[in-house]
Amino acid sequence: MESVEVSAKSVDEAIDDALEELGLKRQQVEIEILTAGKPGLFGIGGEQARVRVTALEEGTARPMAEPDLEDTGRPMAEPDVEATDRPLAQPAMEGEEPPEIEIKDVASPEVELASDHLSQLLAFMEIDGEVSVRAPETPGDGLGRASAVLDVEGEDLGLLIGRRGATLAALQYMINLMVSRDMDSRVLISLDIEHYRRRREDSLIDLAQRMADRVRKTGRSLTLEPMPAGERRIVHLVLAEDSAVTTGSVGEGDGRKVVIYPQRGRPGER
C-alpha cells in the first residue's frame, strides 16, 4: 500500500498535507498518528506532530510531484508577510483519527468566547485594539472551514502581526486552543489584524496568476516560495479552473511549496 509520513505544526495540518500529497480523501486512507506534537508559547518550545497516512487500495494515490530540475529559477520573494490558517484545536490522542472541525454560526457561544478571550489578551498586553466579529468571506478567511473571523483594528498593531505573521499565527493558535478546552468543541476561529490576511491573500492571488502566466508562456514548471497550508490552499483554488496549468505541492512541514506545472507537464506524464 502507498504510504507517506508527514510532519507539521499540528496533527490536522500533517494529515491535510499527506492527503494532498497522495491525492486522496480521508475515507480512502488509514491514518496513524506517530507523534501528536505539542504547542509552544507564541511558537516557542513546541514539538511538531507526525503522521503516517496509507492508501487503503493499491494504486489509488497519485505520484508525488517533483520539482522541475530544468527550471531552478524562482519568483522574487513576496513582501515579508506570511500567516497561517489551519485547524488549531486540541490534538487527538495517539493512534486516534482527529474528528472533523465543526462550523458554527458567528453568534455561537464558541465565537463569543473566542472574542472575549482575545479582548482579555489585548487588555493584558496593554494593547488598545477593537475586536469585531464577522463571517468568513474568502479562502484566506477560512471560508468553508472557519466559523468566524475576529478582526482587530487599532493603531500600531504591527507587534501583534510579527515578522512573517508569526505572532498573528501564535495568537490565533492560543485563541482556538482556549476555546477548544473551555467548550470541548473543535471549531476554527480565524484572526485578522488590520486586514493583514486580506492583503496577503490579494498578494497570493496576484502571485499565482503571474506565475501561471509565466508557466503558460515558457511551458516549464515553476516552484514558489515555502508557504503554510492555508496559503497553499489559496494558490491551488486560484488556479483550479485554469485549463493551461495544474498545481501540486512538494516538501514537508514549513518547507512545503506549491509547484505550478503546464497542464501536461507533470512528472511521469507524456
Mean pLDDT of the region 70-87: 33
Mean pLDDT of the region 91-99: 34
Q: What is the pLDDT of residues 197-255, one digit of tens each?
A: 889 899 999 999 999 999 999 999 999 988 888 888 899 999 988 999 999 888 877 78
Look at residue 17 in the predicted model and tell me its pLDDT. Answer: 84
pTM of the model: 0.58
Q: Are 118 and 131 in contact (CB under 8 A)?
A: yes
Please state the domain extents for the chain: 109-194
Look at residue 34 in the predicted model and tell me its pLDDT. Answer: 83
* 127: CB partners within 8 A, 6+ apart: 154, 157, 159, 160
Q: Are strands 148-154 and 189-193 parallel, antiparallel or unpaired?
A: parallel
According to DSSP, the residues that pair with 150 across neighbouring strands are: 133, 191
- CATH 3.30.300.20 is held by the domain 109-194: yes
Q: Are 250 and 101 in contact (CB under 8 A)?
A: no
Nearest to 261 by CA among 253, 251, 237, 243: 243
* For residue 112, pLDDT beyond 50: yes
Look at residue 75 in the predicted model and tell me its pLDDT. Answer: 36
